[in-house]
Amino acid sequence: MDKVFIDGLEIETIIGIYDWEREVKQVVRLDLQMAWDNRPAAQSEDIEKALNYKAVCDRLSDFIATSEFLLVETMAENVADILMKEFNVPWLQLKLTKPTAIPQASGVGVMIERGVQ
């Protein structure tokens, strides 16, 4: 199976359950792997047959920047839903990190896998 990946997509947003987190924007970082058959795009060199990672990044950046989730779990599920419904991604693995949430850690968050591989 082919995969399209996006590593380290960083977006500022309101995220968290604590009062201070509701008042300041924090960076979230997304690492994505998405199943995609790359052969049709490779054979035709037609971007319409590819999983356009710029379009994915733009859509997720717009969505996350304007959202105000309490939990990273909820954000991750919403991101997966967008990718599967709007971009027809059949399978994905998403790592969603809050790099500054815990000072003693380089990042905390969730990793989810959705769809059929």
- Residue 112 corresponds to which amino acid? I
Residues composing the chain: 117
Catalytic residue among 49, 54, 95, 98: 98
Report which of 11, 6, 4 is spatially closest to residue 47, judged by C-alpha positions.
4
Q: Is 49 a catalytic residue?
A: no
Residue with tokens 């792997």: 33
Burial class (CB in 10 A: 0-12, 13-18, 19+), 7: exposed
- Give, to the nearest 10 degrees, the angle between helix 72-86 and helix 53-65: 140
Catalytic positions:
98
